A and B are shown apart, each in its own frame.
Chain A
């Protein structure tokens, strides 16, 4: 149980275009979704926290107009990278908080990640 499906796993896009990444909780209701960015050999950096039905809370230094987050339902959250540039190339991963907090995910279930390359 407690699976988060993240799509796409890999995307290459042209500079200036927008890319949407989806995270879907398959068998539980994700009241809170976290979006992270990870550069090579670096730790995960939290970009924003989204709660179903409300606006996302962005971390300092993250442009909310560039990284649009929508959490319209308890099972789906999306991250849209708008007007992508090569410096946005990174690994993006979501994590859903599973309120039941049961084994084996101890309350946090991660997506499989999306590797974005902007050319």
Chain B
């Protein structure tokens, strides 16, 4: 069964702390996405990775294809970073564009 596991499920941090959220998947993928879901429910795409590392502002995403593992890092965390962070993968390629989602990590950053 193709699975996506995220850890931790819940994470509470103080403003300014360095945050790491992890994602593991069971079989080979063509792409991995990190998404941010705000309390109202809307979802924003943060990164898409197929290899290596990407950085956008205070967010960094890495992926290790051999170990089937990705991490999302937030540097100098801020209360506005509080949200659910979701890892999603696309299995295979071609015309199959379906994503499989992890259960998400609820991040709360306290001032």
Contact = CB atoms under 8 A, between A and B. Distances in A.
Chief secondary structure at chain A's binding surface:
strand
A112 B42 contact: yes
A34 B101 CA distance: 13
A108 interface: yes
Size class of the A contact interface (CB-based, 8 Å) = 20 to 34
B21 interface: no
Interface in B55-111: 86, 88, 97-99, 101-104
B48 interface: yes
A106 B45 contact: yes
A91 B40 CA distance: 10
Interface of B: 33, 35, 40-45, 47-48, 86, 88, 97-99, 101-104
17 contacts: A34-B99, A43-B101, A43-B102, A46-B99, A49-B97, A49-B98, A93-B41, A104-B45, A106-B47, A107-B48, A109-B45, A110-B35, A110-B43, A110-B45, A113-B41, A113-B42, A113-B43
